[in-house]
A and B are shown apart, each in its own frame.
Chain A
Amino acid sequence: MKMSGAEILIESLKREGTKYIFGYPGGVVLNIFDTLYDDKEIKLILGRHEQGAVHAADGYARATGRPGVVLVTSGPGATNTVTGIATAAMDSIPLVVMSGQVPTMLIGNDAFQEADIVGITRPCTKYNFLVKDVKDLSRTIREAFHIATTGRPGPVLIDLPKDVTASKTDFVWPEIDVRSYKPTYEGNKWMIKQAAHHIAKAKKPVIIAGGGVILSGASKELRELAEHTDTPVTMTLMGLGGFPGTHTLSLGMLGMHGTYYANKAVQDSDLLIAIGMRFDDRVTGKVDAFAPHAKIIHIDIDPTSIRKNVRVDTPIVGDVKNVLAVLNKVMKEEINEQWNEVRKAWLKQISVWREERPMTYTWSDEVIKPQYVVEKIYETTKGDAIITTEVGQNQMWAAQFYKYDKPRTFLSSGGLGTMGYGLPAAIGAQLAFPNKLVIDVAGDGSIQMNIQELATAVINKLPVKVAILNNRYLGMVRQWQELFFNERYSHTNLDVVPDFVEVAHAYGAVGLRATKPSEVEPVLKEAFRIKRPVFIDFVIDWKEKVYPMVPAGAPIDHMLFEEQEKKPEKKLKAVR
């Protein structure tokens, strides 16, 4: 039977297991939207901006591990997806983004709403396609899903000219084999043995777990390795939840805003076991001074991650889960150590650092401290929630003061640092887990970047909660200006911040506010009881900064702490 391109597209998506498409219509995708109109199996979630739709698909993907699917129109619809795609690319999130395109006849003619989206997204997709013939459509979709979800995952874009979705052909579902794309899944046995011997010999080892642990579903194997060899674990921002934050071996996050004890341990270590992470500059600080005494074992599925930023002694290319399973086996079968004896001194040293400078903040009776809000979110939910974040101080506090015990419960734009990510991502996660509490920890600046998505939440009855840590500033940038630019607050005072309670009402959501510390817990409890989307406006201490902090370009044990602040408060310009 002949089917139209649009029908083939929908049928192919079903075969790939797609339940939701996040999208936005327009002229050249009318055929596809028309086909969707009658479809019972696939639901289109209409965003209110294409960037929001992509972030929602991304949140869905991060929360579930399944690819997020997006459908937008050509030109502005397609260009609006770019930030979302780049966000997913930087964090290795599988997405299949389909953009409409002007008819093949008109491509290259500067036709109405034409944009060379394949050219524009080439550097920020894992791969992209322009489909020129309806006969290639189903194969292309299959390849797109294959490429997006295997190896190091990432976003794939398919550009669909209008005539391709309109014309008809027989439906086929071909087997695919992309001969030039063969990711390495199994680690080299010899290298794994070498790694095992390094671990056995090390006196002061530290595991650094990154997002790859979560992407490959290797939490169990990681935990086994850490527990069996009594090795402490620190996590990158992307790795949070990959190892239980409440575990005695957890050092929390490392890097620019990492814990004192994580950074100290890394700098002092004689062996780093880097798993599914890529030594981002926010993690290493000054590269030349990073972990100067350590041998480095680096396990990653992407060979380009290895030796890109730091020297590596034992590189292991492979899927983290597979490699760790083999490594654990070798550790158990071939190496005989009394681990708790061997590690005693090192773990003792770490607990000294832990006590020396635990993660703290200064309590206030009068004004809400943002860290307290995050702590209360953790306590109230008992850690059983999915947390998304915006970008800035809010993101760092959410990373520092909530303990993530399970993978896929902390969704945050790490690599690109995209303000406006959190709300749409929460929507995607909530859609996948309707009965879970999904909370966006937000800043008053970031939330305004995709605030329109509140409509998406309301209309789809997705009861996401948005905890706005409202400091009336672009807080993180203000923090840098205070510390490194002589308090010259160039364009970081937001001056006019909307009344978020009223904004919530205007969208048909619930708006709550807390202005005093005593109100924080009751307002959270109330918000979590309400089965509708809620904005909670926490009017916080605008002077609060994220500590510890490693100034950009410094070694990661050169940290600034709150108590080193000497500046008299009155020097800071009072706000409203």
Chain B
Amino acid sequence: MRHTISVLVENKFGVLSRVSGLFSGRGYNVESLSVGETIDPQISIMTIVTTGDDQIIEQITKQLNKLIDVIKVTDMTEMDHVEREMVLLKVAPRQADKAEVLNLTEIFRGRIVDSSPKTYTIEITGNEKKIEAFIELMKPMGIKEFVRTGKVAIAREGVRKKG
């Protein structure tokens, strides 16, 4: 099963390679990994999307916890949470499709962040389903390239662990 794991780490030299080294050294999957600062600049947060059966996920969280620089590990999948990802997508639609591209962007509450005579660059934020649906719809329009940020996740306030 797929899990989204949040890892609070000391914002220290080498911490990213300690975490990624753990995944590669032990053969765990990483689907996406994003890192950024938190409100405390000495602490960073990593959001890791990984897959594995219960035993593997248990090992992943324990192994992460064991890393000296890791302060806290939360398996977001076990609680109510909000997940978001952003994609920047460059399309080169035929003249006839241009309106449809703009229309879909609107429907998905995206924004055109750059345009050229031949292309639009669109920014879409949302959960994975939404991002994937948008990419699907854009495929026939002529996607040139896209870049995804990987997921970030945050727990909903005032909720407890799912049973």
Contact = CB atoms under 8 A, between A and B. Distances in A.
Interface residues of B, number: 19
Contacts of A122: 14, 17-18, 21
Given A119-B17, A122-B14, A180 B69 contact: yes
A76 interface: no
B62 to A, nearest CB: 4
B64 to A, nearest CB: 10
Given A147-B68, A178-B68, A123 B25 contact: yes
Interface string B8-20: 0110011001100
A180 B70 contact: yes
A127 B68 contact: yes
Nearest to A179: B71
B68 A180 contact: yes
A104 to B, nearest CB: 12
B59 A304 contact: yes
Contact of B66 (A118, A119, A179, A302): A302
A130 B69 contact: no
A147 B66 CA distance: 12
Interface in A292-337: 302-304, 307-308
A112 interface: no
Given A303-B66, A304-B66, A180 B71 contact: yes
A541 B59 CA distance: 46
Interface in A329-371: none
B58 interface: yes
B77 interface: no
B9 to A, nearest CB: 8
Contacts of B9: 180
A495 to B, nearest CB: 38
B95 interface: no
B127 interface: no
A312 to B, nearest CB: 11
A465 interface: no
B14 to A, nearest CB: 7
Interface string A157-187: 0000000000000000000001111000000
B55 interface: yes
15 contacts: A119-B14, A122-B14, A122-B17, A122-B18, A127-B68, A147-B68, A179-B71, A180-B9, A180-B70, A180-B71, A303-B62, A304-B59, A304-B63, A304-B66, A307-B59
B65 interface: yes
B14 A180 contact: no
Given A123-B21, A179-B71, A308-B59, A303 B14 contact: no
A308 to B, nearest CB: 6
A302 B13 CA distance: 25
Contacts of B55: 307
Contacts of A130: 13-14
- A-B interface, 4 closest residue pairs, ranked by CB to CB distance from nearest: A180-B71, A304-B62, A127-B68, A303-B62
Given A119-B17, A304-B63, A126 B68 contact: yes
B50 to A, nearest CB: 16
A22 B59 CA distance: 36
A141 B55 CA distance: 36
A119 to B, nearest CB: 7
A180 B25 CA distance: 22
